Chains A and B, each alone.
Chain A
Amino acid sequence: MSYQDIIKKLETAALHPAKTVTEQIRKTGKDAFGCFPIYTPEEIIYAAGLLPVGMWGGKTELKLADKYLQSFCCSIMRSNIEYGLKGTYNMLKGIILPTFCDTLKCICENWKAAVPHIPIVPIVYPQNRSIDAGFVYMTEELQRVKGEMEKITGRTLSDDDLEEAWELYEEYRRTMREFTDTAAEYPQIIGAKRRHLLIKAGYFMDKREYTQDIREIIAGLKDEEKKPFAGNRVVVTGLLAEPAELLDIFEENQLAFAADDLAQESRQFRTPGGTEGSVWQRMAGRICDQRGDTFLYEEEKSRGQMLIDMVKEKEADAVVIFMMKFCDPEEFDYPIYKKELEAAGIPMLYLEIDQQMDSFEQIRTRVQSFAEMLA
């Protein structure tokens, strides 16, 4: 397969999650296990011989979820509950849900009542990550989750299983960092939407196959000639950049993504794991070292400076904010980094989004105006 064919394969995989997961289950002979946002210890699931599947909501008519959630709940979580109630997730053996915000805490509790046939394993990461007690707690919490997984699968997990899964995931994360760097050099080939779909495909595939695919795409890209780009390059931040139709508007207006700080994308893989100690300590190290993420307490709040540095490093022209409506943590961070970006003279475009949106006219006007402003 040429690298372009692999791109098409992954794009299709990302656009049709249910089909992709069904095929992967057949191909690998593994059972699928769901992973709620944001940092789910996929390594443990993988080590248990299961196929980790991302659960980042999606576009669906919200009807059943209203039984549990008011309308001012974030659309990703409303979608997930809707899918749970509708039976879309019936192929999952269970799910892991990290409670990074007040909404996630409630979603976990509601899940137990609403979708009792799919067992849920909550995980509570520590917010005080930099002190010893927090680090130790994190390793204990990860091991508790391992115990829960053993109960669900009826299979004992050895340290070797975990080491192997850990190595694969570290390799996946390394590859993804290389991919985003490389993609930024070929905006004509990897536009905003394609970039998103290629990264998203990883949520529905076995990471071994997926990582290999991404490696081949990187190699294919590197053989291409780098061409000057007539449009503008932006750094994007937020929870995620969906619905994907939104990204068509960026491509139409010649806005390429030079780098991202999206929870669904680079925040998943930008930070390598720890290098010392047990596998649990290395896993915990990855969360401890993560910076600039609103879901993890950080006294110095480095996100603004981080975005400024990203803009400089990638020679981008602006920052685009994808604000998931009703996402408290993201909404709290905005005024802080907004001020810092303004002081640095970096133009910003703020877009309020939700996954069920189907009218893009106003956003089209905003994006086009922004492109006109930058040009």
Chain B
Amino acid sequence: MSDQQENMAFADDPRLKTVERAMKRLQYQPDALIEVLHTAQEAFGFLSRELLAHIALCLKLPESQVFGVATFYHFFSLRPKGEHNCIICTGTACYVKGAGEIVTRLEQEFKLKAGQTTADGRLSLGTARCLGNCSLAPMLTLDDHVYGPETAQSTLNLVRQALEEGSDEQS
């Protein structure tokens, strides 16, 4: 695909409309950059370089600043996320109750490091600094559902189950 074709495809992307609408609502104020990035990430799942460039143009900001903000905050991801997203809380309460063990086990089992996505794009494993549910320690979220208290084994079962359910739907 040539550059021009790619640009055309990007400009026609319906998800871009959501982002455009958000920017219009916020009156293209440069101050609203973080809100716009939130909307963009929600729509696309991640922030591509051309999306960032487009936002920079609309908000009249240097591209470097938009890129700087997008990489400064942990929440924004410049790479696509997996189909299923498992986030292990590694806050203090979870840590002292064995969150580290859960992370190691999942890393071994699915052959990836925390913060990565499996090669087949099925699972992303992440850690969070504290999800604020310390009474459930050690806790985690799997596709936005909160689970806790968990052990390495029970987490493994949860993740496997989620992956299997996903493949059932596909077949």
**Is the pairing of A and B real?**
no
